[in-house]
């Protein structure tokens, strides 16, 4: 038995009807449906210089292209020449531009004292001094020079450890090798042993 309309015909007809309906309703609203090819030549990256970079968010290390005009970032997108991501970016990486250009980004140090209800604007120097003061205080109060316990046979055991178990360091994937090197030196010097990076979690 044959049917008057094949499955292929049906799909063609229904697709055409939907397109016709959409086009009809848009032109009915006075919308010009002519191709917008001209817009493609007016992209904001037209006069930009592209600098290859790396997405700052995770350990995948996707390649990006940072478009710059007159020293200002105007766009960031995936680098098609990167063997890691061949031009693609996940939603986090695709939003990297907003990490740089964002009117909501905080540019002042805000401090809210214990029990206070209002934030206070602090100079950066004061905030850095306060952080250093608290780190030093915590470290000195919790520093352990010798660990004392028992070995596998139950005999007393004493080991030189020189560490503090009270401080934990969590690095970010935006940190450069040089920063990580200095941070390791500082933390190991303080006796911090719990050192981790966001990219590994
Ligand atoms: S956050 Fe996304 S875009 Fe960035 S490196 Fe990781 S996977 Fe790639």
Q: How many domains does the chain have?
A: 3
Flag whether 65 is in a domain.
yes
Q: Find out whether 180 and 187 touch, Cβ atoms under 8 Å.
A: no
CA distances from 75 to 49, 67, 106 (A): 10, 5, 21
Q: Find out whether 90 and 112 touch, Cβ atoms under 8 Å.
A: no
Which range of residues forms the domain containing residue 81?
44-100
Are 26 and 49 contained in the same domain? Answer: no
pLDDT at 4 over 80: no
58: DSSP letter: S
pLDDT tens per residue, range 139-184: 999 999 999 999 999 999 999 999 999 999 998 777 778 998 999 9
Flag whether 16 is in a domain.
yes
For ligand 1, the distance from its centroid to the CA atom of residue 84, given in whole angstroms, is: 10
- What SS3 class is residue 32? coil
Flag whether 131 is in a domain.
no
Predicted confidence at residue 45, as pLDDT, reads: 84
Flag whether 70 is in a domain.
yes
pLDDT tens per residue, range 86-124: 999 999 999 999 988 999 988 999 999 999 999 999 999
Task: Decide whether any atom of ligand 1 lies within 6 Å of the 55 Cβ.
Answer: yes
For ligand 1, the distance from its centroid to the CA atom of residue 60, given in whole angstroms, is: 6
Are 51 and 26 contained in the same domain? Answer: no
Predicted confidence at residue 2, as pLDDT, reads: 46
Flag whether 189 is in a domain.
yes
Flag whether 107 is in a domain.
no
Task: Decide whether any atom of ligand 1 lies within 6 Å of the 99 Cβ.
Answer: no
Predicted confidence at residue 173, as pLDDT, reads: 72
Task: Decide whether any atom of ligand 1 lies within 6 Å of the 62 Cβ.
Answer: yes
For ligand 1, the distance from its centroid to the CA atom of residue 53, given in whole angstroms, is: 12
Computed over every residue of the chain, the mean pLDDT equals 86
pLDDT tens per residue, range 34-80: 666 555 556 778 889 999 999 988 878 899 999 999 999 999 999 99
- In a 10 Å sphere around its CB, with 0-12 CB exposed, 13-18 middle and 19+ buried, how is residue 96 labelled? buried
Task: Decide whether any atom of ligand 1 lies within 6 Å of the 93 Cβ.
Answer: yes
């Amino acid at each position: 038995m044959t049917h008057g309309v094949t499955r292929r015909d049906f799909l063609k007809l229904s697709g055409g009807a939907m397109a016709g309906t959409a086009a009809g309703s848009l032109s009915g609203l006075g919308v010009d449906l002519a191709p917008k090819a001209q817009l493609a030549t007016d992209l904001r990256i037209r006069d930009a210089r592209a600098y290859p970079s790396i997405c700052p968010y995770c350990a995948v290390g996707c390649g990006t292209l940072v478009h710059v005009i007159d020293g200002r970032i105007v766009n960031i997108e995936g680098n098609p020449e990167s063997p890691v991501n061949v031009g693609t970016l996940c939603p986090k990486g695709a939003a990297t531009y907003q990490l740089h250009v964002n009117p909501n980004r905080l540019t002042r140090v805000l401090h809210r004292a214990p029990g206070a209800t209002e934030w206070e604007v602090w100079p950066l120097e004061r905030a850095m001094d306060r952080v250093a003061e608290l780190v030093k205080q915590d470290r000195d109060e919790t520093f352990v020079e010798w660990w004392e316990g028992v070995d596998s046979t139950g005999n007393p055991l004493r080991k030189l450890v020189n560490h503090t178990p009270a401080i934990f360091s969590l690095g970010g994937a935006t940190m450069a090798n040089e920063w990580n090197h200095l941070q390791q030196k500082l933390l190991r010097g303080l006796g911090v042993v719990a050192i981790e990076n966001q990219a590994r979690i």
